[in-house]
Amino acid sequence: MSGSRAGSDGPAVPGLGPEPSGGPAGRARRRRRGAIVVLALACVPLLGARPAAAAGSRFASVNATVGVGTGTLEVSFAEMGLLAGGAIADQARADATVGYGCRDGTGRTDGSASEVVSASVAQVGWFVPGADGSVRAALSLPAPGPGSFTCRPGEQMILTSVTYTDVSVTDLTNGIGQSVAGTFAQLRVGP
């Protein structure tokens, strides 16, 4: 009596047993299975958490002040609920409007020579949370420069006013942010 047994090299019946190991259909099935495994392994990092991310991270406080005489905005913050020892990137940003003027040798400001510059300013800092999972830090945002504005020979360029609005801090690692309410300004900033 002739016939095929399961596992023999005879013709395979779909759904009743494995393909012969050397046949083209068996090789194609193994390639598909391998491609599925590779694709699944490639997606695993997308499903997991980011290395330094923490699900409960939050800003406990954020404050801003304009430095006396400098026009620099100092943004201080405290962030909690972070993974201890994992580096995070925080960014402070604001919209700034700055006035520049010229002062002559006698200390008088030349009212006819002035310039107003508006620009967004930002600073990024890297921080490592302590054992308690918190970071307390500050980032300084310098006033935008005067651009092409210049003073006449013998005059000194000074910063006459600075105003910061839309101040915020963002934890770029964990994707959270906090705005600082208010407008931060100083007149007659320069020496």
What pLDDT is stored for residue 40 in this prediction? 42
What pLDDT is stored for residue 32 in this prediction? 54
| Residues 114 and 29 placed together within one structural domain of the fold | no
Q: How far apart are CA 100 and CA 113, in angstroms?
A: 9
| Residues 117 and 40 placed together within one structural domain of the fold | no
Average pLDDT over residues 16-26: 52
pLDDT tens profile 84-93: 988 999 999 9
pLDDT band of residue 1 (cuts 50, 70, 90) is very low
pLDDT tens profile 108-139: 877 777 889 999 999 999 999 999 999 999 99
Specify if 77 maps to a domain. Answer: yes
Specify if 131 maps to a domain. Answer: yes
**Separation in Å, CA 45 to CA 36, 49, 69, 71:** 16, 8, 49, 44
| Residues 72 and 105 placed together within one structural domain of the fold | yes
| Residues 148 and 106 placed together within one structural domain of the fold | yes
Q: Are 97 and 117 in contact (CB under 8 A)?
A: yes
Close Cβ partners of 34 (under 8 Å, ≥ 6 residues apart): none
Close Cβ partners of 92 (under 8 Å, ≥ 6 residues apart): 73, 75, 77, 122, 123, 139, 141, 167, 168, 169
Specify if 8 maps to a domain. Answer: no
Distance between start and end Cα atoms, the chain: 110
CATH code of the domain covering residue 105: 2.60.40
| Residues 122 and 103 placed together within one structural domain of the fold | yes
pLDDT band of residue 189 (cuts 50, 70, 90) is low
What pLDDT is stored for residue 124 in this prediction? 98
pLDDT band of residue 68 (cuts 50, 70, 90) is confident
Q: Is the pLDDT of residue 17 over 80?
A: no
Number of domains present in the structure of the chain:
2
| Residues 64 and 40 placed together within one structural domain of the fold | no
| Residues 65 and 155 placed together within one structural domain of the fold | yes
Which amino acid, residue 162?
A: V
| Residues 130 and 38 placed together within one structural domain of the fold | no
- More confident call, 188 vs 102: 102
| Residues 82 and 157 placed together within one structural domain of the fold | yes
What pLDDT is stored for residue 114 in this prediction? 85
Specify if 71 maps to a domain. Answer: yes
- Domain with 28 in it: 16-48
Beta-strand pair 109-127/88-103: antiparallel
- More confident call, 8 vs 28: 28
- More confident call, 83 vs 13: 83
pLDDT band of residue 75 (cuts 50, 70, 90) is very high
